[in-house]
Amino acid sequence: MAQMMYRDAVLSTIAEEMARDPSVVVLGEDVVGGMGTAGGPEAIGGIWSTSTGLFGQFGANRVIDTPISESAIIGAASGLALSGKRPVAELMFADFIGVCLDQIWNQMGKFRYMFGGKSKCPAVIRMAYGAGYNAAAQHSQSVHQILTGMPGLKVVMPSTPADVKGLLRTAIRDDDPVIFLEHKALYGMSGEVPDDPDFMIPFGHARLTRAGQDVTIVSSGLLLGFCEAVADKLAAEGIGCDVIDLRTTSPLDEEAILDSVEVTGRLVVVDEAPPRCGLAADLCALVSNKAFASLKAPPEAVTPPHTPIPFARELESAYLPSVDKIEAGVRKVLGWR
C-alpha cells in the first residue's frame, strides 16, 4: 500500500498503463501545458496536475496537447479508439460536454451497437466535475445524470484514491467508452492505494462503506464522505446506516442497493446533480419497483434544487447538499409515520 492523493492516483495510473501498453495515448487542452511558449512544454502541465511529466516520458505522439476544440478532441478520441489505440481524453471541466455532446452521445457511445458489435471503442473521457469553488453555473456541474442516461457509455465516479486507481485501470483496459468523473474537491484527498500493478476494480460493483440495519444511504463522489459523517453521527445514537458508494452509475449495482433496502426498508439517495430525471429519481424508482414490499418509508432524495448553480458563497452552500441536509433526509425517512 502507498499513501497517495486522488490526483496522483489519476496520474500514476495513466503513466503505468501507458508504460504497459503502447496503444494508450493522452489528449486534451493544456495536458502538456506550455506548448509554443518561452517556458516550453511542461512549463506548467495540466491545470489539475493529472498529466505532469507524461509528455517527457512518452513524447508528443502519445501525449497530445490540443487546441481549445472539444468536439475535435472527443471525435479524435473515437477515431483513435476505432483504429486500435486506447485514448484517454481530458475535458478540463465536465461542463464542457456541452460543446462536444454529439461526439460523446451520437458517435462514440453508439458505434459498437450500430455496427452490429463488430467494432470496439476503447476510449476514456476524464473530466473534472463538481461544485464547491464558487465557479458558478458553467464550471461546477455534475454531469453523470446526463451521461448515465445515454446507452453505450459506462460512467464511473470514484470517491477515494484507491478507487481512482482500480477504476481508472479498468476504464483504460475496457473496450467500451468510459466516462471517468473526477471530483475537483477530491483531488487533494489522501488515501491508501494498493501497489499491485494489475489492481483493478470491476465496474458495477458498489462498495459498502458503513454497515447498519436502519437506513440505506446511496451516494458517490464528494458527497459520499458527507454521508459517512452522517452515518457516524447517527451510529452514536444507535441508528445504523448502510452507506453504499455506487462507484459506477452505469453499469449500476442494483443488487447491492436492493439487498440493503430489503434489510433496512429505508432509502436515502444523495446526489450532487439536479433532481429531475437524475440518479436520485432513478434509484428511488428502482427501489419502489423492486423492493416495494420491504419499504417502511417513501424513498428520499437529497439533491440540489432544479436551478443552475449560483456563484455567491451563501448561494452555493444553500444550493448544495450538506451534512445537515443529508441528516435531515435520513431523519425524515426514520421518522416517517
Ligand X SMILES: Cc1ncc(C[n+]2csc(CCOP(=O)(O)OP(=O)(O)O)c2C)c(N)n1
Binding region for ligand X (CB under 6 A)? 29, 68, 70, 92, 96, 99
Residue placing its CB nearer to other proteins in the complex, 70 or 214: 70
How many residues contact other proteins, by CB under 8 A?
45
Residue placing its CB nearer to other proteins in the complex, 128 or 171: 128
Q: Report the distance separating Cα 213 and Cα 40, nearest Å.
A: 57
Q: Report the distance separating Cα 32 and Cα 46, nearest Å.
A: 6
Q: Report the distance separating Cα 179 and Cα 235, nearest Å.
A: 35
Under the binding rule (CB under 8 A), the answer on residue 134 touching other proteins is: yes
Q: Report the distance separating Cα 278 and Cα 132, nearest Å.
A: 20
Q: Which does 71 bind (CB under 5 to 8 A by kind): other proteins, ligand X, none?
A: other proteins
In this structure, are residues 330 and 265 in contact, taking their beta carbons and an 8 Å threshold? no
* In the complex, least distance from residue 41 CB atom to other proteins, rounded to whole angstroms: 9
Strand order in the sheet with 207-210: 207-210, 241-245, 215-219, 267-270, 300-302
CA 138 to chain centre: 18
What residues have CB less than 8 Å from 101, skipping those under 6 apart? none
Contact region with other proteins (CB under 8 A), list: 18-26, 227-235, 239-247, 313-321: 313-321
Cite the active site residues. Answer: 139
Residue placing its CB nearer to other proteins in the complex, 144 or 184: 184
Under the binding rule (CB under 8 A), the answer on residue 7 touching other proteins is: no
* In the complex, least distance from residue 225 CB atom to ligand X, rounded to whole angstroms: 27
In this structure, are residues 112 and 120 in contact, taking their beta carbons and an 8 Å threshold? yes
Under the binding rule (CB under 8 A), the answer on residue 133 touching other proteins is: yes
What residues have CB less than 8 Å from 298, skipping those under 6 apart? 333, 336
Contact region with other proteins (CB under 8 A), list: 17-25, 32-40, 152-160, 283-291: 32-40
* Burial profile 297-330: b = 16 or more Cβ within 10 angstroms, e = fewer: bebbbbbbeeeebbeeeeebeebbbeeebbbebb
Under the binding rule (CB under 8 A), the answer on residue 239 touching other proteins is: no
Under the binding rule (CB under 8 A), the answer on residue 307 touching other proteins is: yes
* In the complex, least distance from residue 81 CB atom to ligand X, rounded to whole angstroms: 22
Q: Which residues bind other proteins (CB under 8 A)?
A: 29-30, 33-40, 43-44, 47, 65, 67-72, 95-96, 98-99, 133-139, 275-276, 305-308, 310-315, 318-319
